[in-house]
Amino acid sequence: MLPIDPIAELAPSPRLLLGPGPSSVHPRVLRAMSTPLLGYLDPEFLRLLDETQELLRYTFQTTNALTLPVSGTGMAGMEALLVNLLAPSERLLVCAAGFFGNRLEEVAHRHGIEVTRIDKPWGEVYAPEEVDTALRAHPAKVVALVHAETSTGALQPLEGLGEIAHRHGALLLVDAVTSLGGLPLRLDAWDIDAAYAGTQKCLGCPPGLAPVSVSPRAREAIGARTQPPSAWYFDLELLARYWGPDRAYHHTVSATLVYALREGLRLVAEEGLEALWARHAANAEYFCAGLAELDLVPFVAPAHRLPTLITVRVPHGVDEAQVRTRLRTEYGIEIGAGLGPLKGQVWRVGLMGHSSRRENVTLLLGALKEILVRRD
C-alpha cells in the first residue's frame, strides 16, 4: 500500500561539506559511481581490484602485499586490524589524546583484548621518549596512536615510533583516517606495521570503504596466531584470498564503492602526493591567517596543528550551535561541533580532499565574518 502522499524524488539541498567528514565528493568520483555494475568475479572487475590496490600502495607509500579496502567505514578498518593483530588476552597499548584514542580502547575491550592506556590532554601529542617510556612500563604486542586526531585537530608525529615499537618487540598500529592523502604518511619509511583509513576524508570519495595496509612483520604475527580472528567478516587473510590471486569468494563487495575509490585514487596519483600534501598545507595556512583577521584562534598550536582538520576556539559569548546552524541555512556550509570535553568550545573545520580549495576557504571566512559581526 502506497503512502497517501508519495515520497518525493531525492533532491538533497546543496551543501559545502567543511566538517570533520564526510568531505565533498569529487565530480569525477560521482560520475564513476554511476557506472553500471560488474559481477564480483568478472575478469574486468578483478582487474579494477588490482588497480585499486596498486593505487592504495602508492597513497600509503608502501609495498605491502596486504593492502586493500575493507567493506565499511574507517571504524571497520580499526576493528579489522585490532582483531587480526591481537587475540583475546593479548595486550594493546593505546596512547590516547582524544576521542579516537578512546575508541581504540573501546573496540579492543569488546574483543577481549587486554588494554593498557596512557593519556595526554586533548590537543597534545606524544614525544618519542614518552612512547618508549610507556612501552618499558607496559610491554604490549601492539602500540596504537592516532596520526590525525579528528576530535582535536592535533597531528601526532610518527617518525621514529616504529623503531621504538620494534625495539620493545611491539607492532606499531596507526589510525590514518584523517591523514591518508592529506598529509605526509610513509608506511615503509617510517616502519609502520599497520594502518587504517577512510575514503570519505582526504580521498574525495563517499564513506563505505576502509583502506588498510599490513606490513610483512605484522602479517607474520597474524599468521602465527593459534586461533582465527574473533570477527569472521574482518579476517584479513580471508579477504586477501579474494583480493589476491586466489579470488576466493568472501563477500560481495560494492562495485560502486570500488569504482569511487579507484577514481579518487586516480585523482591522487594525477595530482601527485607531494602536490596534494602541499595543497592541503597551503589552504590550512590561508584559513588560519583569515581566522586571525577575525580574532579567532585555533585550538592547537602551529607545531602540531592538522592541515586537514582545524579546530577553532568559540569566542566568549558566542552560541556555537547557532553559528553552525546559520552557516548551514544561510550559506549552505557545514562545519562540525566539538566532541567530549571540547563540546561547545570549538568548531571543527575540515579542509580535506576536494573540499580543500582556496575558494571554499574564502567563502567560509566571509560567512563567518558576516555572522560574527552581525550576531543579534
In a domain, 11, yes or no: no
Domain that holds residue 321: 16-21+272-373
- Give the pLDDT of residue 204: 94
Q: Are residues 245 and 279 in the same domain?
A: no
- Give the pLDDT of residue 1: 58
Q: Are residues 261 and 335 in the same domain?
A: no
Residue 81 in grid coordinates = 586490524
Pick the closest to residue 335 from 348, 351, 354, 323 (CA basis): 348
Q: Are residues 262 and 279 in the same domain?
A: no
Q: Where does residue 91 fall: left (phi above 0), alpha (psi -120 to 50 degrees), or beta otherwise?
A: beta
In a domain, 156, yes or no: yes
| DSSP annotation string for 90-119 | -EEEEEESSHHHHHHHHHHHHTT-EEEEEE
Rg from Cα positions in the chain: 21
In a domain, 178, yes or no: yes
Q: Are residues 172 and 112 in the same domain?
A: yes
- Give the pLDDT of residue 7: 82
Q: Are residues 259 and 277 in the same domain?
A: no
How far apart CA 104 and CA 79 sit, in angstroms, is: 8
Beta bridge partners of 311: 348
- Give the pLDDT of residue 8: 86
In a domain, 10, yes or no: no
Q: Are residues 351 and 214 in the same domain?
A: no
Q: Are residues 214 and 360 in the same domain?
A: no
In a domain, 166, yes or no: yes
Beta bridge partners of 117: 94
In a domain, 204, yes or no: yes
In a domain, 92, yes or no: yes
The residue from 238, 269, 300 where one domain ends is 269
- Give the pLDDT of residue 162: 98
First to last CA, the chain: 49
For 300-318, what is each residue's pLDDT tens digit?
999 999 999 999 999 999 9
In a domain, 9, yes or no: no
- Give the pLDDT of residue 373: 84
Residue 147 in grid coordinates = 596520526
| DSSP annotation string for 194-224 | EEE--SSSTT---SSEEEEEE-HHHHHHHHT
Instruction: Count how many domains the chain has.
Output: 2
For 14-57, what is each residue's pLDDT tens digit?
999 999 999 999 999 999 999 999 999 999 999 999 999 999 99
**CATH number for the domain harbouring residue 276:** 3.90.1150.10
pTM of this structure: 0.96
Q: Are residues 299 and 261 in the same domain?
A: no
Q: Are residues 292 and 249 in the same domain?
A: no
Residues lower than pLDDT 70 in the chain:
1-4, 374-376
- Give the pLDDT of residue 2: 63
How far apart CA 280 and CA 300 sit, in angstroms, is: 17
- Give the pLDDT of residue 289: 98
Residue 185 in grid coordinates = 604518511
The residue from 269, 299, 315 where one domain ends is 269
**CATH number for the domain harbouring residue 188:** 3.40.640.10
Instruction: Please calculate the CA angle 335-339-345 and round it to the nearest 5 degrees.
Output: 75
Indicate the residue type of 193: D
